[in-house]
Amino acid sequence: MKLQLFAHPFSSYCQKVLIALYADGTEFEYRLLEQEHPENMEELRRHWPFGKFPMLLDDGEPIIETSLIIEHLQARHPGPNTWIPEGEDGRRVRFLDRFFDLYVMDNMSAPVFDALRPPESRDPYGVAAARAKLLIAYDWLESNLGDGQWAVGDTFTMADCAAAPALFYSDWVEEIGTSRPRLGAYRARLLTHPSVARCVEEARPYRSYFPLGAPDRD
């Protein structure tokens, strides 16, 4: 198999890439990063000593970081979707991709990772700051999402690949709530997309991993 993805189904960043792969129907070997497959993490670290995932191997060449992986797929293994369009729409896609990663995904992750630490190493100040920033991100999105079906108009793009897992999990940490109807409706639409729904179902057996307790919904 030419393409190998080193990933875990419950990881939000892995889901971002999996959404693009599934939507394009791209063939790849799934190198599951679970305890029963230690050889996969060992192989990952040989290419990327930080051990962060997902990582794509393309004929032995490691492709690191989710946005660059999706860009690589579009350039080297194109499918029916244009993940990063040309022109102004493309610039908007890149901006929103960064927004969902840096202001939603990262702030959502802070309380999650803090809960995994020993009690004496926890950072309540940092967690409170991250939660506050997450709510600011929600309010910005509520005011700045367009009128189209997806993040940039009516075409599903890399921005939506980033948005789906970010909003899926962030709503578990801090609910979007009824005061942000545009953002809530966008999250609901994302969950109906076939590739997003597939990722949610594949991750369902691992919900016990969520240290804050996965809610009985979604």
**Span 138-186, pLDDT tens digits:** 999 999 999 999 999 999 999 999 999 999 999 999 999 999 999 999 9
Domains and CATH numbers, the chain: 3-76 (3.40.30.10), 87-205 (1.20.1050.10)
pLDDT of residue 56: 98
pLDDT of residue 1: 56
Q: Which of 102, 88, 97 is nearest to 67 (CA)?
A: 97
Global pTM? 0.96
- Nearest CA among 7, 6, 11 for reference residue 210: 11
User: What pLDDT is recorded for position 75?
Assistant: 97
Write the pLDDT tens digit of every residue in 72-113: 999 999 999 999 999 999 999 999 999 999 999 999 999 999
pLDDT surpassing 80 at residue 24: yes
In the chain, what's the furthest Cα-to-Cα distance? 50
Residue 13: pLDDT band by 50, 70, 90 thresholds?
A: very high
| Whole-angstrom distance, CA of residue 69 vs CA of residue 14 | 11
Please give the C-alpha separations between residue 85 and each of 41, 95, 167, in angstroms, as whole numbers. 34, 12, 23
The string of pLDDT tens digits covering residues 28-51 is 999 999 999 999 999 999 999 999
SS3 content of the chain, % helix, strand, coil (to 5): 60, 10, 30
Question: Is pLDDT of 214 > 80?
Answer: yes
Determine the pLDDT at residue 216.
87
DSSP assignment, residue 83?
S
